[in-house]
Structure 1
Amino acid sequence: MDQLAAMHTFRRVVDLGSFSAAASCTGQSHTVLSRQVKQLERQLGTQLLARSTRRLHLTEAGTLFYRHCVSILEQVQAMTLELSEHQQQPTGTLRLSVPTAFGELELGRWLADFVERHPCLQVELNCSDRFIDMLEDEVDVCLRITDQLPDSSLVARRLAPSEVMLVAAPSYLKRHGAPSSPGTLSSHALLGYSNLAHPQRLQLTRADGEQHGIVMPRRLSANSPMALRAAAIGGLGIASFDRFIVHDALLDGRLVPVLEGWKLPARNLYAVYPQSRYLAPKVRALLEYVQAYYAQPRWQA
């Protein structure tokens, strides 16, 4: 038995939670992976996984073995990287996941420069507004803009704040008037992002700490920030956006801020990646690049 391969299998099964998920990820059959783990248990003389019809559980011995297994596999990976000369610079395929609007509006500003700096690196880009399973989808780095990250074993590196603001087209405000206070928003139409838990609710805060919770009538909802952006520019209603989505439209006057004295809860841009003692050069290169790039304010008025 190839013990190192069996350890890789065991770790993958534990990380993904089932033999089926590990089989789907590796392209091997459920039977082959199960046999590897059983052979590993026989060789060690102890049960590592308690199997039930619904899920797997680590035994006490399995928990101890998993901890050592992770450490050993990471040391082997580090040794391999150090001994391989071509790995001294970023090579291979970097799998990067970003939100759709970020992919359309932001990546064009810096991705070409990053790729030019690393000619041996290929980038595989996934644009999605859902939180993906990085282990199952084998993604190296996710860039996400959010106000709250789910609890997980992933590492989240904060890159920059992302202001959220209310905007509308001058044509809409000319027809309907500009709201003068949070209370007057209820007479306006909201363009809502349907992927939010409560797309019609707005929580506004003034500099003096006064807060207003508003529920706006919804004229249009969509699961695409870019579609909502187009609708807002077309004069269909008032919408809330991360500033980077409407930055260019604010600069050229296609959109204008609404209720500038009031703020919506801010969000942050994060780089999220699997926890590891030894980062692959391709991952480290991207993290260092985006950290430096977003250290400078990018979406100011």
Structure 2
Amino acid sequence: MDTLLSLRVFAEVAEHKNFSAVAERLNISPAMTSKHVKHVEARVGARLLNRNSRNVSLTEAGAQYLLTIRPLLDGLAEAEAQLTSDRLSPRGTLRMSVPVWMSNPAFAKILTAYHQQNPHVTFDVDLSGRKINMVEEGVDLALRVAFKLDEGLIARKLAEVTFQLLAAPSFLDRFGRPETSADLNNAPMLAYSQVAADGRLKFGGEDGIDVKLRPILVSSNESILHQAAVAGMGFAMLPNWAAQDDVKDDRLEAVLPNVAWPKLHIQAIYADRSYLPAKVRSFLDFLAGSDGFPAVLK
């Protein structure tokens, strides 16, 4: 059997989780699709896929094997494309996971500018805010501020984002405008579950901020926290980038504006591979370049 084709079939089935769909996509029979996967499993001596009549999923060995062979298959595809093109150009679908708060005009502008320069790249963007398995779900790139780096992945710093404690003017009219950080103790907070689910804000060392607010809304979705802050529900720690228009138009007001609130890095998370597909490599470089995050985070 053609081992290279078998590897490609296995990778397609692993990412699409459907034998029939892959068979149609590759113009082979479902039975032959299954034979190719069994051929790969026989070569490596391990079960790579769990499959039944309804579901297909990667085993632990399968996830690790896919992580190893994907860059090899991507590199081979690009090498083949290079033989028929004067230069290697980014192409294909870039599957990406980004924080909910990046659903804003600034990030849309970045995507538009990149696509204008690279029209053969399309985007498939997940904004759910959930924790993802990049290998099993076939995600090329994740942008994160707060995260735990899984094994087999690497992170690249792209830009720095300042966070600010904000509240609606109507809420501050009722609650009062804090003059010191101590005034925030037991204040109602709209808390981001992955950073401050307990309402505690601590940063800056011994001379910094250490206060405990009272969470009244906890969520991993930054958008609901943002909208609840605008509605006057409580205090929220939001990235300046996402809230700058609300501050400008007086829908939100900076709280203790002279405090050095925390700055966090937007980082790109992707598979630890020595050869990145052109679509991923070029988009990473674009995000870090003058038309990317630096242009919108001024």
Q: Matches of residues 139-218 of structure 1 in structure 2 within 5 Å?
A: 139-146=139-146, 148-193=147-192, 195-196=193-194, 198-206=196-204, 209-218=206-215
Cα 1:50/1:219, change in 2 over 3 Å: closer
| Partner of residue 5, structure 2 | 5
Query: Could you list the runs of 5+ residues in structure 1 that have no partner in the other structure?
Result: 14-18
Q: Matches of residues 74-85 of structure 1 in structure 2 within 5 Å?
A: 76-85=76-85
**SS at the partner of 1:101?**
helix
Q: Which moved more, 1:30-39 or 1:178-187?
A: 30-39
Distance 1:133 1:68 in 2: 15
| Partner of residue 296, structure 1 | 294
**SS at the partner of 2:172?**
helix
Q: Matches of residues 247-286 of structure 1 in structure 2 within 5 Å?
A: 247-286=244-283
Cα 1:242/1:117, change in 2 over 3 Å: same
Distance 1:22 1:297 in 2: 34
The answer to whether the 8 A contact 1:203-1:213 is kept is yes
Query: Could you list the runs of 5+ residues in structure 2 that have no partner in the other structure?
Result: 24-29, 51-57
How much does 1:112 deviate?
1.5
Distance 1:5 1:278 in 2: 20
Q: Does 1:88 align with 2:88?
A: yes
The answer to whether the 8 A contact 1:205-1:262 is kept is no
How much does 1:71 deviate?
7.9
Distance 1:115 1:77 in 2: 21
Report the count of equivalent residues: 282
Distance 1:244 1:73 in 2: 38
Cα 1:179/1:291, change in 2 over 3 Å: same
For residues 152-173 of structure 1, give each alpha carbon's deviation from its aligned partner in whole angstroms, at most 9, with x where no partner exists. 2223221111222211122222
| Partner of residue 238, structure 2 | 241
Cα 1:24/1:32, change in 2 over 3 Å: farther
For residues 249-276 of structure 1, give each alpha carbon's deviation from its aligned partner in whole angstroms, at most 9, with x where no partner exists. 2223322221234445432111222233
Cα 1:39/1:103, change in 2 over 3 Å: same
Distance 1:167 1:127 in 2: 23
The amino acid across from 2:284 in the alignment is L
For residues 16-46 of structure 1, give each alpha carbon's deviation from its aligned partner in whole angstroms, at most 9, with x where no partner exists. xxx9x6672665699977754654576x6xx
How much does 1:241 deviate?
1.1
| Partner of residue 136, structure 2 | 136
The amino acid across from 1:274 in the alignment is A
Cα 1:209/1:294, change in 2 over 3 Å: farther
Q: Matches of residues 23-102 of structure 1 in structure 2 within 5 Å?
A: 24=17, 27=21, 35-36=35-36, 39=39, 48-49=45-46, 73=73, 76-85=76-85, 88-102=88-102
Q: Does 1:220 align with 2:217?
A: yes
The answer to whether the 8 A contact 1:192-1:222 is kept is yes
For residues 1-30 of structure 1, give each alpha carbon's deviation from its aligned partner in whole angstroms, at most 9, with x where no partner exists. 1111234467x59xxxxx9x6672665699
Distance 1:4 1:50 in 2: 18
The amino acid across from 1:190 in the alignment is M
Cα 1:67/1:279, change in 2 over 3 Å: closer
Distance 1:239 1:67 in 2: 38
The answer to whether the 8 A contact 1:9-1:37 is kept is yes
The answer to whether the 8 A contact 1:162-1:242 is kept is yes
State the superposition RMSD in angstroms: 3.7
For residues 167-198 of structure 1, give each alpha carbon's deviation from its aligned partner in whole angstroms, at most 9, with x where no partner exists. 112222222212222322124211223x3264
Given the two structures, how large is their TM-score scaled by the length of structure 2?
Answer: 0.76
Distance 1:67 1:112 in 2: 30
The answer to whether the 8 A contact 1:159-1:295 is kept is yes
Distance 2:100 2:68 in 1: 39
Q: Which moved more, 1:103-112 or 1:127-136?
A: 103-112
The amino acid across from 2:104 in the alignment is E
